[in-house]
């Protein structure tokens, strides 16, 4: 059974940093791309970042490019999202996601790339 559990969210001020973690189990973690998405109230779920199976490839959404960094530790089945210079518009529930099959990394910004989702962790950035 695939499980993805996010943690690390909280309330911070604009300009602060925060690191989210996602613990994965139930699948061959070190062979799959992992992704981060976010969803703000009243908005669609938005791609944030993805990490290729070996951690050497990363892909970012335009809104977070240069501020967020995705990384993973395959030995621990963990993927991380380091967020810096947070803005009020970063306020959202952040989700970790994994695909059922190995898929082309260049498509990893798409919701349809992923089959499994965590429950999300709330990040709130005050102005």
pLDDT tens digits in sequence order for the chain, 127 residues long: 999 999 999 999 999 999 999 999 998 888 899 999 999 999 999 999 999 998 899 999 999 999 999 999 999 999 999 999 999 999 999 999 999 988 889 999 999 999 999 999 999 999 9
pLDDT score recorded for residue 76: 96
User: Which residues are CB-contacts of 101 (< 8 A; sequence separation ≥ 6)?
Assistant: none
Conformation bin of residue 85: beta by default, left when phi > 0, alpha when psi is -120 to 50 = left
CA–CA distance, 41 with 18 (Å, rounded to integer)? 20
């Amino acid at each position: 059974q695939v499980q993805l559990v996010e943690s690390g969210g909280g309330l911070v001020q604009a300009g602060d940093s925060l690191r989210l973690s996602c613990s994965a189990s139930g699948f061959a973690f070190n062979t799959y791309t992992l992704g981060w998405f976010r969803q703000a109230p009243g908005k669609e779920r938005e791609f944030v970042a993805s990490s290729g199976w070996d951690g050497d490839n990363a892909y970012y959404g335009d809104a977070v490019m240069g501020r967020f960094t995705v990384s993973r530790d395959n030995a621990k089945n963990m993927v991380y999202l380091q967020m810096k210079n947070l803005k009020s518009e970063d306020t959202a529930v952040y989700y970790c996601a994994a695909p059922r099959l190995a898929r082309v990394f260049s498509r990893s910004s798409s919701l349809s790339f992923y089959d499994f989702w965590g429950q999300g962790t709330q990040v709130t950035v005050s102005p």
